[in-house]
Structure 1
Amino acid sequence: MELRHELARRFKEVILNGTFIANTNYRDQLEGLDWKTATKQFDNLNSIAILAQHIHYYIKGVKDAFREGTLTIRDKYSFDFPAIISSDEWEVFLTNFWKDAIEFAQMLEQMPKEKLQEIFIDEKYGTYLLNIESMIEHCYYHLGQIVLLKKYFVVNA
């Protein structure tokens, strides 16, 4: 299997449909989760909704950078989102999250294999490959936080 297809498979594994690494994925954790639980605070930790929005922010931002050749997202804004205050807003967010994740995976599958070794936007960011692998690892990091928060809220419901 070509590396670009393997990267797309690994990305889809953590976001959309896999269970090999973490025995779960974002879709499994977030689909059917009510917006009140998703936005519930525990101490001073980020809510499930904020963590999911944070990951979506990077997926959409890097996807747009792949398409446009400029990186407009900034780390300092990666946790700044308007509050989700209804079930409809939560569902709209999830729809956009899945759509952007699917498009990101498709872009990986279609990316010329030579592109993986090219510099991503600016030399300080490293290669496309480094950024894609970092995206996947970043997703798993926050998926673990979401799983723990969700378990805590279910046990203490």
Structure 2
Amino acid sequence: MSSVNLRHSVRAIILDEDNRILLCRFAIPEPAGTVVWATPGGGIEPGETPLAALSRELLEEIGLAVPADPPHVWHQEVVAPGYAEGYDGVINDYFLVRAAAFTPRGTLSDDQLAAEHISGMQWWHPHEIASCAGADLFSPRDLATPLTALITAGVPAVPIRLGL
């Protein structure tokens, strides 16, 4: 039996003082026209710890320094061909970062962000995510549900397992 090649990634749930979450707009090339709003973050490089990867990704994408020990709140495993380019799927570990609202601007240029399919960033209230109509998707798909639970109940004792 062949092994499944999953991309290990870290992502940040960045909540501001109004419990808005910062999401990146990913314009996915296939199928053409697909837009997915997802938390900032990305792949863990060989030899890198999850927190080092999170720090690097957040500085690159949005210009935010990560606190020393952000709580690990969600865990997601998605096995789906095509979900992560060159992989059979992805493992996402999500960390909670509280920050005052800011205008995201990382060290990556607009061209570098575009190469990562990032075409914008926006602060969202959970109710805006829940009521969003149209073709845009969220990752995870039911983001408003675990996000509302996180805001209401606080940091879980162990990371919550998420679906697609």
Instruction: State the TM bucket, normalised to the shorter chain.
Output: under 0.3
- Decide which structure has greater helix share: 1
Structure 2 length-normalised TM: 0.22
- Decide which structure has greater strand share: 2
Higher radius of gyration, 1 or 2: 1
